[in-house]
Amino acid sequence: MIRFKGVSATARRLERMANGIPQAAQRAMSRALDTTETHVVRALRRDLGLDREAIARSIEVKKPTFSDLTGYLKVRRYAGMGGRKTPRGKIPLIYFNARGPEPSRGKGSGVRYRLPAPGRGAVTKGFILELRSKHRGVYRRKMDAGRLPIVELYGPSLARVARRSDVMRPARVVYREAFAKRLRHELGRLTTGRGGADGAGA
């Protein structure tokens, strides 16, 4: 007669592993998205010379949950403080290394800036102003207007720039490699009993 010992314990262990796989995938996806976001921000800062805050306000990341194992990262239209919309999602010109007398009150040599293309530029009658809301921007008065009204000036939309530049293609490779590496780690935790269905996120 042949007796099999430990079958019940093995079955329970396999059941725990099966239950832990969705959470392992969730954690791996979340970590991979974090890695990919860091890569995209660095690449855009390198290519555009933009402030990290301006890029962060133009990136949307959806993390997966246990009940919905879908996630994404996309470069969207710029959203300011409190979700403030800008014309066609453009980034305020102040973020493009804008420099000028401050406070200038509309006087002085204007405001200089640097765009990814065509490069350096200037707003001769522009000025830098911080509003009561603490929003700081580059402004100019409307043509043939008196002291008011004033309008804020903007650079390009980061979503449009990202489509033209070669940023998102290598970002997909970064995500796939980071996800595969992290998933191996998470599954290893399950097989050794050091991790499992603990309900933790990334």
What is the pLDDT, as a whole number, of residue 34?
96
Task: Give yes or no: residues 105 and 68 share one domain.
Answer: no
pLDDT at site 85: 78
Same-domain check for residues 134 and 165:
no
CA trace torsion 7, 8, 13, 19 (10° rounding):
130
Q: Residue 92 domain-assigned?
A: no
Distance CA 73, CA 65 (A): 15
The pLDDT value given to residue 196: 43
Among the residues of 57-193, which ranges form H helices? 158-164, 168-192
Q: Domain check: are 116 and 174 in the same one? A: no
| Number of domains the chain is built from | 2
List the chain residues with pLDDT less than 50: 195-202
Tokens of 194: 């050091």
Both 32 and 54 in one domain: the answer is: yes
Give the model's pLDDT for residue 198. Answer: 40
| Containing structural domain, residue 181 | 8-83+159-192
- Check residue 6 and give its pLDDT: 54
Strand partners, 120: 114
Same domain, residue pair 66 and 126: no
Q: Are residues 37 and 133 part of one domain? A: no
The pLDDT score that the predictor gives to residue 32 is 96
Shared-domain flag, residues 66 and 106: no
**CA separation, residue 34 to residues 37, 103, 172 (Å):** 5, 38, 13
Indicate if 55 and 104 belong to the same structural domain.
Answer: no
Assigned domain for 90 exists: no
Do 74 and 166 belong to one domain? yes
27 and 79 both lie in a single domain: yes
88 lies in a domain?
no
Same domain assignment for residues 67 and 53: yes
Instruction: Tell me if 112 sits within 8 A of 104, measured CB to CB.
Output: no
Tell whether 145 and 134 lie within a shared domain: yes
